[in-house]
Amino acid sequence: MALKKPLILVADDDRAMRLLVRRALEKDGYAVIEAEDGAAALETYEKAEPDIVLMDVLMPGMDGFAVCAALQKLPRNRRVPVLMITGLEDDASVEKAFASGATDYITKPLHWAVLRQRVRRLLLARQTEKNLSARETQLSAVASALGEGLIVLDAEGRLTLINPEAERLLGWSMAELLGRNVHPIIHNRRYEGALLPESDCPVLKTIDDGKTYRSDEEYFTRKDGALFPVSLVSTPLRVNDRIIGAVAAFRDISERKEVEEKLLLAAKVIENTTEGIMITDAKGIIQSVNPAFCRSTGYTESESIGNNPRLLKSGRHDGQFYRKMWCSMQESGQWQGEIWNRRKSGELYAAWLTVSAIKDSHGRTTQYAAVFSDMTEDRRNQERIKHQAYHDALTDLPNRLLFIDRLSQALAQANRNHHMLAVLFLDLDRFKQINDTYGHALGDLLLQGVAGRLRSAVRDSDTVARLGGDEFTILLPQISTVEDAAKVAQKILCSFRHPWTFEGIPPFCTTTSIGIAVYPSDGEEAETLMHNADAAMYRAKEQGRNHYQLYTPELNAWAFERLAMETRLRRALENREFLLYYQPKVEAATRKRCALEALIRWQHPDLGLVSPMEFLRLAEDTGLIVPIGLWSLEEACSRNKAWQDAGLPPVKVAVNLSARQLQHPNLIPTVKRALQASGLSPDWLELEISEENILHFADVAPLVLGKLKALGVALTMDQFGKHNSRITLLQKLPVDTVKIAAPLIVDLAVSHDARASVKAMIALAHSLSLRVAVDGVGTQEQYDYLRAAGCDELQGHYFSEPLGAEEIEKLQGVSFSGNAVDSP
């Protein structure tokens, strides 16, 4: 392919000169076009775009200066070298030529060798300029195409070039920054906002020492003042081994930083999460684990990485389990469920596991991520909650819910296998009194001790439960005969004979009452058996406590009657249906009436006069004895004061205190108020407390009786001799009198042992400076012996039956004025 000849435009109004120049140029191998004046030169230039212009200065119309100036107004890429040819040699013309844009200047007459060299040099310069322009265009295109910002600084740090990407990132244009020192404009701050000195600027350091600097994180400032992170490479610009500036290429790494921060956050979460995390490659080889994985499994990171997850295999799952897991992974890319693993220590544990496949952009699985939660503590909590829901918090025995459930299952099994089972219902005797006396803390300890003794009394297959308060139940799921249940009850009663010992208080004993119901004779449903065993237990209490009672159908009627009686008792209190009878006491030596004992009666509107034997025990069990006892005390005090105010001889009236009253915290204030309200002097009030109740509360009885004694009332220990009072206790008690129990004198006439026993008790009491009274005297023989034995005071139907208040009023004028009582 032939090379294109350089095209030269010759503009001159002298035709001969044009011809000479043309021939000389064409001879040297150039292509030539001509123009006869300035206007023609401009027109030809526009059409042909020559590589060089040879132009005469003096031409008609438009001279060479004007044409040259017009050519300079063209775009730079369309401008070419202009060689002015003229006969003018003055300085002004030369300066004007160059000022109008001429590239060179040659005078006439022409020296053809000089012309050839000038043309050759201008064409070479033109080609060089074109090459540089093309290279510049290429470099500009490359710089524009780069995904990075590019700035070029000179040796003074002034900007000489900025590419479009840098303009976009910085918000500055080339025109705004060209020639300016850009360090204080775009790179003067650190991340935290502190100023960045020039000595720390990588670009300026490159200019100073000629080294290439790379920084993964610098911060540039946008035109709006916003700071953004960049990665930066600063390279020196050298010409002839001289540093003439630097090129800085930078990339906005905001997204990368955001991703890095997210990854860092994810890494921290993974590191600090309580869930174990394991990453494996596509073949299942462990690549990484987090600290929670190590804590949970016991394997260190180094022990885990490179290993296979099979190191956690528990052996509790078969091959089918794992096949289903991997089938799910292949279908959905994920598996989730509960799995049993084995720790390094060998301990098995349950975990909730989620395994997810990690895929690349082509959908190929590259890794697996396994996240698991150790469910050991959750299982423990669930078991603990379940246990609490079905067990008593204090004793850890099964509660009512669990007992009924086990009883229902035992009934179903007994029905299938045709065998018997038994339910025992237990209630501690007088537990409320113990609780109120010693406090709830000791009461709780006692209940825990009772639970322990009950467990020890039955088989492992039996169930002991606490229903609440002091009520317990026992399930014997399989017995051969009713006697088997009775033997268990007897064993329990025997275990209660051992005293309880707690720190800070004297040893004491408790008893329990037990009711027994047997399947199928006493019921075939759980609730029926529970109800019937409960009824039998109450019957056991009614018969004196501290023993067991088998259920009989008659107990149902008795239980309903007992409930009805309790309701009638409450109504009797409201309707004031109670009244007091008074039984005279006599001095043994003279048979003179010396005191009265107030005895409660119930005047029922339908049943008539009800004996205290029929309602006092129920009143004691239900707590009604406290308001009933209060009424008795207030009534006795008021009646005695009324007798005195009516002018009758003063007489001491004895009122009985129950066990509940003795341990009631308001006993002392109650007695004090009764005396104050009635106006009765305490000299005329006597309080009788049974020996059994005093012994039951032996640790507090001396204190309570001492406070009563301080009020000025007389105190008597009733039922003396039935429970073998200790001499040491009698010495501590501030009582005035002991009253020997009526059953102990029944056989005085026929039994030497009875006489010896009574005589010893009288002697013992007198040795302690106590008066001795005897209740239940019914015969002349009893009276004679007791008087001869030294008794101080006697009482019984031999002398008088209990009498109403009106009858007492009639007798008082005679009986309490010094006359003896005739024998009936």
Q: What is 307-321 written as a DSSP string? A: S-GGGGB-S-S-HHH
What is the Cα–Cα distance from 275 to 273, expressed in whole angstroms?
A: 5
Q: Tell me: the pLDDT tens digits for 570-580?
A: 888 888 889 99
* Per-residue confidence (pLDDT) for residue 77, from 0 to 100: 61
What is the Cα–Cα distance from 94 to 444, expressed in whole angstroms?
A: 126
* Per-residue confidence (pLDDT) for residue 817, from 0 to 100: 42
Please give the angle made by the CA atoms of 600, 605 and 609, to the nearest 5 degrees: 35
What is the Cα–Cα distance from 605 to 572, expressed in whole angstroms?
A: 9
User: Which residue shows structure tokens 């004491």?
Assistant: 508
The DSSP bridge pattern shows strands 737-740 and 771-774 to be parallel
Contact 425, 514 (CB under 8 A): yes
Structure tokens at 656: 């009985």
H or E element in which residue 262 lies:
helix 254-272
Structure tokens at 317: 């799952």
H or E element in which residue 752 lies:
helix 752-767
Cα distances from 47 to residues 50, 129, 595, in angstroms, run 9, 21, 158
The DSSP bridge pattern shows strands 608-610 and 7-11 to be unpaired
Q: Is 290 exposed, middle or buried (0-12, 13-18, 19+ CB in 10 A)?
A: buried
Cα distances from 340 to residues 11, 309, 351, 660, 720, in angstroms, run 101, 13, 6, 59, 71
* Per-residue confidence (pLDDT) for residue 398, from 0 to 100: 95
Contact 547, 514 (CB under 8 A): yes
User: Which residue shows structure tokens 């509960």?
Assistant: 338
Contact 764, 727 (CB under 8 A): yes
Angle, in degrees to the nearest 10, between helices 376-390 and 400-417: 80
Tell me how crowded residue 304 is: count the other CB atoms within 10 A of its CB.
21
Q: How far is C-alpha 247 from the chain's CA centre?
A: 61
Q: Is 256 exposed, middle or buried (0-12, 13-18, 19+ CB in 10 A)?
A: middle
User: Which residue shows structure tokens 């909730």?
Assistant: 352
* Contacting residues for 574 by C-beta, under 8 A, at least 6 apart: none
* Per-residue confidence (pLDDT) for residue 819, from 0 to 100: 47
The pTM of this model reads: 0.45
Structural domains in the chain? 7-138 (3.40.50.2300), 146-257 (3.30.450.20), 273-379 (3.30.450.20), 395-551 (3.30.70.270), 569-730+800-815 (3.20.20.450)
Structure tokens at 137: 């265009």
> Residue type at 134?
A
Q: Which of 754, 725, 720, 757 is nearest to 737 (CA)?
A: 720
Q: What are phi and psi of 787, to 5 degrees?
A: -65, -45
What is the Cα–Cα distance from 634 to 641, expressed in whole angstroms?
A: 11
Q: Which of 824, 816, 823 is nearest to 592 (CA)?
A: 816
The DSSP bridge pattern shows strands 685-690 and 714-720 to be parallel
The DSSP bridge pattern shows strands 737-740 and 227-239 to be unpaired
The DSSP bridge pattern shows strands 7-11 and 31-35 to be parallel
* Per-residue confidence (pLDDT) for residue 89, from 0 to 100: 73
* Per-residue confidence (pLDDT) for residue 619, from 0 to 100: 82
What is the Cα–Cα distance from 800 to 786, expressed in whole angstroms?
A: 17
Tell me how crowded residue 665 is: count the other CB atoms within 10 A of its CB.
9
Query: What stretches in the chain show pLDDT beneath 70?
Result: 1-3, 76-77, 132-134, 136-147, 553, 555-560, 563, 724-726, 813-824
What is the Cα–Cα distance from 96 to 73, expressed in whole angstroms?
A: 16
